[in-house]
């Protein structure tokens, strides 16, 4: 992340919005051109990790008065001090932007997804947009790292409060927080962690939501519980410290074994895996959580309401149990509507990322009466075109799909595709102005490991693209303007994309038209958001449009997705049913780089990523499309929003901005609560 950025008034930016993007077109292979200047960004105040929070004890603890009155005094809940763990996680008020908060009010989110249910460890999603960040608690936490000083950068503790490496570096012993409880009062302990590991991650019938696979923590890694609060990983590698990042959202976030085990097929012969996955639907009553808020109500296509978790194990340093906000709502709408509502004030939060809203959102936010603050971050959003490289039966391809995968594996074919893409036009079709930059692929600009000189760009040229297609052995044998397979049929590539957000369809339509001009037939393969993820994970695609990749921002988060480090770590190149994978020569170099990266020094990591970026972009591993900045929009009544929070860094802003410490001053609180003075399940 850039260390030195200046906030400039949003209005100044508007002046340049109407001008066409100043992106140069070139005719010979080169490094990627400079992105257009874009300065309207918030400034980050960098801190050390323990300035944010640390485990400890305090003399006394407090909670909202209504909780004491309605629940503790009536015997429905033990006193707050007894509900907290031995050592709660203490948030430091000195580094909170506005200091100690007060209780009350609601965060009204709007989301475009729909919850499948609460069983994320068996593969269900919760609709995104922060539902999951508010509910999942994971062994470590990385969202707030965007504001941690570079020399102190390391994953923060969370459910794992501390850890140490064995002398030989093969073992990592982690100490779980002691005496913390699920929201129904049942103890959280190593049983919950082992239930996730043994009966989900290592169970081949299950693919947890969040992308964890048996290889995520290293091929051959094992985990055991030493006692109720101690777990120990054993790795084949020496000190693979990068795995600590993978233990954050969303790859190591357990669920309550006491409620779920009785439904799991291993312990319940009457249940199928499908039944288990669906055993905790979104209207399930009182599903226990470790998060700041837990589900209280759900109305399909309308709303999800979460209420404060009375057993939440985090406090501020004055002893106030967090969160400060009593309720969180997720109105079920569309992603573009999230921005429209946040800007209008009927919603409280948006990650501005749907480019069709940029100009209007900027204009409205610049008005003094605007209900919400809008702050841009660096260019950390991007879209890529991914090629399916599976050649050993991943996703059970038919003959045509198999032929397309072999084409994907041909460098000349990929060069044809990338050269045939007019990225300036693609960017313009999303939004005009200084936002869009040409993105050849790999790391995003404005990020720590990015290196412009090693970012190879194949400039747009229809003629050159046609020449590459010919070099790939593809000819138009029937004179219809489209290249053919050897058997005479037109080559036909299906492009998987989400129809849930306008941006993806805009890009898909653009790509299809551009490919037709070079003589390659590509057909649209639209599916809804959940469907795209499922089909991509299952290998059921030729090409896929992928929105944002956390690993391209930070490298440290989701490192394993940057190359096929095992049979299942790459998003677009996984093994077939027999567990084998045919890694291409250049790909092997990426594998070697990423394997070394995990235990390399800071200096060496920089060098490694220069090579990575060069090999990635030279070989068009994925064809990047466009890069652009996002903005965080939050209603002005909220305090403690960390300055300069990017909408995406190690995590999305819903994690980075630490919602559990946000509050609304008493005099600005509104009457938005749907379930005042209630607690889920009590």
Extract long-range pairs of 464-471: CB within 8 Å, 24+ residues apart. 464/419, 465/415, 465/416, 465/417, 465/419, 465/420, 465/518, 466/416, 466/518, 466/519, 468/412, 468/413, 468/415, 468/416, 468/419, 469/412, 469/413, 469/416, 469/518, 469/519, 469/520, 471/412, 471/416
- How far apart are CB 362 and ligand GLA at their closest, in Å? 18
Three-state SS string over 580-636 comes to: CCCCCHHHHHHHHHHHHHCCCCHHHHHHHHHHHHHHHHHCCCCEEEEEECCEEEEEC
User: Which residue carries 């309720």 as its tokens?
Assistant: 327
Contacts with ligand GLA, 132-151, as mask; x by CB under 6 A: x-------------------
- How far apart are CB 90 and ligand GLA at their closest, in Å? 26
Nearer to ligand GLA, 197 or 435 (CB): 435
* Identified binder of ligand GLA from the candidate list 147, 348, 654, 660, rule CB under 6 A: 654
- Nearest residue to 418 via CA among 565, 520, 323, 334: 520
- How far apart are CB 512 and ligand GLA at their closest, in Å? 23
Q: If 0-12 CB within 10 Å is exposed, 13-18 middle and 19+ buried, where does residue 428 land? A: middle
Nearer to ligand GLA, 349 or 572 (CB): 349
- Give the integer Cα–Cα distance in Å for 303 and 642: 27
- Give the integer Cα–Cα distance in Å for 125 and 127: 6
- Give the integer Cα–Cα distance in Å for 92 and 94: 5
Q: The dihedral of CA 534, 526, 438, 632: what is its sign?
A: negative
Nearer to ligand GLA, 464 or 627 (CB): 627
- How far apart are CB 532 and ligand GLA at their closest, in Å? 12
Residues in binding contact with ligand GLA, number by CB under 6 A:
9
Nearer to ligand GLA, 49 or 112 (CB): 112
Residues 139, 119: contact at Cβ < 8 Å? no
* Identified binder of ligand GLA from the candidate list 35, 49, 85, 130, rule CB under 6 A: 130
- Give the integer Cα–Cα distance in Å for 49 and 302: 39
Nearer to ligand GLA, 223 or 325 (CB): 325
* Identified binder of ligand GLA from the candidate list 136, 450, 572, 652, rule CB under 6 A: 652
Contacts of 672 (CB under 8 A, 6+ apart): 105, 106, 108, 327, 329
The conformation of residue 476, written as its DSSP 8-state character, comes to -
- Nearest residue to 117 via CA among 499, 527, 528, 530: 530
Footprint of ligand GLA on 237-296 (CB under 6 A): none
- Give the integer Cα–Cα distance in Å for 42 and 33: 25
Nearer to ligand GLA, 265 or 502 (CB): 502
Nearer to ligand GLA, 351 or 508 (CB): 351
Nearer to ligand GLA, 212 or 520 (CB): 212
CA distances 431 to 23, 444, 503, 567, Å, are 13, 19, 10, 39
- How far apart are CB 128 and ligand GLA at their closest, in Å? 3
Strands of the 222-227 sheet, one edge to the other: 160-165, 171-176, 230-234, 222-227
Q: Give the interface segment with ligand GLA, choosing from 129-137, 395-403, 469-477, 597-605 (CB under 6 A).
A: 129-137
- How far apart are CB 347 and ligand GLA at their closest, in Å? 12
Q: Give the interface segment with ligand GLA, choosing from 122-130, 283-291, 608-616, 619-627 (CB under 6 A).
A: 122-130
- Give the integer Cα–Cα distance in Å for 396 and 575: 11
Contacts of 224 (CB under 8 A, 6+ apart): 231, 232, 234
Q: Give the interface segment with ligand GLA, choosing from 52-60, 95-103, 125-133, 269-277 (CB under 6 A).
A: 125-133
Q: Does 128 bind ligand GLA (CB under 6 A)?
A: yes
- How far apart are CB 539 and ligand GLA at their closest, in Å? 22
Nearer to ligand GLA, 138 or 259 (CB): 138
Q: How many Cβ atoms are within 10 Å of 321's Cβ, its own excluded? A: 27
- How far apart are CB 446 and ligand GLA at their closest, in Å? 18
Nearer to ligand GLA, 386 or 654 (CB): 654
Q: Give the interface segment with ligand GLA, choosing from 123-131, 218-226, 403-411, 614-622 (CB under 6 A).
A: 123-131
Nearer to ligand GLA, 335 or 458 (CB): 335
Nearer to ligand GLA, 128 or 293 (CB): 128
Q: Give the interface segment with ligand GLA, choosing from 127-135, 216-224, 487-495, 661-669 (CB under 6 A).
A: 127-135
Q: What phi and psi values does residue 112 have, to the nearest 5 degrees?
A: -100, -15
Residues 579, 219: contact at Cβ < 8 Å? no
Helix (H, G, I), strand (E, B) or coil at 172: strand
- How far apart are CB 166 and ligand GLA at their closest, in Å? 35
Q: Give the interface segment with ligand GLA, choosing from 41-49, 91-99, 124-132, 568-576 (CB under 6 A).
A: 124-132
- How far apart are CB 547 and ligand GLA at their closest, in Å? 8
- How far apart are CB 197 and ligand GLA at their closest, in Å? 23
- How far apart are CB 353 and ligand GLA at their closest, in Å? 5
Residues 554, 561: contact at Cβ < 8 Å? no
Residue number, nearest CB to ligand GLA: 128
Strands of the 623-628 sheet, one edge to the other: 437-438, 623-628, 381-387, 543-547, 492-498, 521-527
Nearer to ligand GLA, 494 or 657 (CB): 657
Nearer to ligand GLA, 135 or 417 (CB): 135
- Nearest residue to 27 via CA among 516, 462, 518: 462
- How far apart are CB 357 and ligand GLA at their closest, in Å? 12
- How far apart are CB 127 and ligand GLA at their closest, in Å? 8
Q: What phi and psi values does residue 531 have, to the nearest 5 degrees?
A: -65, -40
- How far apart are CB 131 and ligand GLA at their closest, in Å? 8
Q: Extract the tokens encoding 452.
A: 């412009």
Footprint of ligand GLA on 21-80 (CB under 6 A): none
- How far apart are CB 614 and ligand GLA at their closest, in Å? 30
Nearer to ligand GLA, 42 or 420 (CB): 42
Across-strand partners of 623?
385
User: Which residue carries 């009593």 as its tokens?
Assistant: 326
Footprint of ligand GLA on 340-379 (CB under 6 A): 351, 353
Nearer to ligand GLA, 572 or 652 (CB): 652
Contacts with ligand GLA, 321-340, as mask; x by CB under 6 A: --------------x-----
Residues 532, 219: contact at Cβ < 8 Å? no
Peptide bond into 323 cis (omega under 30): yes
Q: Which residues bind ligand GLA (CB under 6 A)?
A: 128-130, 132, 335, 351, 353, 652, 654
């Amino acid at each position: 992340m850039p260390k030195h950025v200046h906030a400039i008034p949003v209005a100044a930016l508007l002046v340049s919005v109407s001008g066409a993007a100043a992106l140069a077109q070139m005719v010979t292979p080169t490094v990627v051109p400079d992105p257009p200047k874009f300065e309207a960004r918030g400034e980050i105040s960098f801190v050390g990790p323990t300035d944010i929070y640390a485990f400890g004890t305090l003399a006394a603890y407090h909670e909202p008065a209504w909780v004491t009155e309605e629940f503790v005094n009536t015997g429905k809940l033990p006193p707050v001090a007894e509900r907290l763990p031995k050592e709660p996680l203490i948030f430091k008020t000195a580094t909170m932007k506005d200091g100690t908060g007060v209780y009350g009010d609601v965060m009204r989110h709007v989301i475009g997804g729909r919850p499948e249910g609460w069983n994320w460890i068996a593969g269900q999603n919760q609709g995104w947009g922060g539902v999951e960040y508010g509910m999942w608690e994971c062994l470590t936490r990385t969202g707030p790292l965007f504001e941690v000083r570079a020399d102190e950068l390391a994953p923060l503790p969370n459910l794992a409060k501390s850890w140490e490496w064995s002398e030989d570096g093969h073992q990592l012993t982690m100490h779980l927080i002691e005496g913390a409880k699920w929201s129904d009062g049942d103890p959280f302990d190593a049983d919950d962690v082992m239930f996730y590991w043994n009966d989900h991650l290592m169970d081949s019938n299950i693919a947890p939501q969040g992308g964890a696979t048996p290889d995520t923590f290293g091929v051959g890694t094992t985990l055991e519980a030493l006692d109720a609060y101690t777990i120990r990983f054993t790795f084949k590698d020496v000190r693979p410290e990068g795995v600590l990042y993978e233990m954050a959202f969303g790859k190591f976030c357990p669920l309550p074994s006491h409620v779920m085990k009785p439904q799991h097929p291993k312990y319940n012969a009457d249940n199928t895996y499908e039944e288990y996955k669906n055993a905790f639907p979104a209207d399930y009553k009182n599903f226990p959580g470790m998060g700041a808020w837990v589900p209280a109500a759900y109305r399909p296509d309308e709303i999800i309401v979460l209420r404060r978790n009375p057993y939440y194990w985090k406090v501020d340093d004055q002893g106030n149990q967090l969160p400060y906000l009593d309720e969180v709502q997720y109105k079920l709408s569309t992603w573009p509507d999230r921005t429209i509502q946040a800007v209008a004030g009927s919603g409280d939060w948006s990650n501005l990322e749907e480019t069709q809203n940029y100009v209007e959102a900027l204009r409205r936010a610049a008005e003094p009466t605007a209900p919400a603050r809008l702050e841009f971050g660096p260019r950390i959003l991007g879209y890529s075109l991914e090629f399916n490289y599976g050649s050993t039966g991943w996703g059970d391809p038919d003959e045509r799909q198999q032929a397309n995968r072999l084409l994907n594996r041909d460098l000349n074919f990929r060069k044809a595709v990338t050269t045939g893409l007019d990225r300036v036009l693609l960017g313009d079709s999303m939004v005009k102005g200084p936002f869009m930059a040409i993105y050849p692929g790999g790391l995003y600009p404005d990020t720590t490991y990015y290196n412009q000189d090693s970012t190879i760009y194949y400039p747009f040229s229809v003629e050159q693209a046609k020449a590459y297609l010919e070099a790939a052995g593809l000819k138009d044998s029937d004179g219809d303007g489209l290249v053919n397979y050897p058997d005479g049929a037109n080559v036909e590539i299906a492009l998987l994309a989400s129809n849930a957000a306008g941006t993806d369809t805009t890009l898909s339509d653009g790509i299809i038209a551009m490919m037709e001009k070079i003589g390659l037939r590509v057909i649209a393969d639209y599916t809804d958001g959940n469907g795209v993820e499922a089909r991509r994970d299952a290998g059921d695609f030729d090409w896929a449009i992928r929105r944002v990749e956390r690993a391209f921002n930070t490298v440290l988060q989701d490192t394993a997705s940057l190359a096929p480090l095992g049979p299942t770590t790459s998003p677009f190149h996984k093994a077939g049913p027999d567990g084998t994978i045919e890694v291409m020569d250049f790909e092997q170099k990426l594998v070697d780089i990423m394997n070394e990266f995990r235990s390399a020094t800071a200096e060496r990591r920089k060098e490694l990523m220069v090579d990575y970026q060069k090999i990635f972009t030279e070989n068009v591993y994925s064809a990047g499309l466009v890069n652009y900045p996002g903005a965080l929009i939050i209603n002005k009544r909220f305090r403690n929003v960390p300055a300069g929070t990017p909408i995406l860094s190690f995590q999305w802003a819903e994690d980075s901005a630490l919602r559990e410490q946000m509050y609304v001053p008493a005099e600005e609180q509104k009457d938005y609560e749907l379930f005042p003075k209630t607690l889920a399940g009590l």
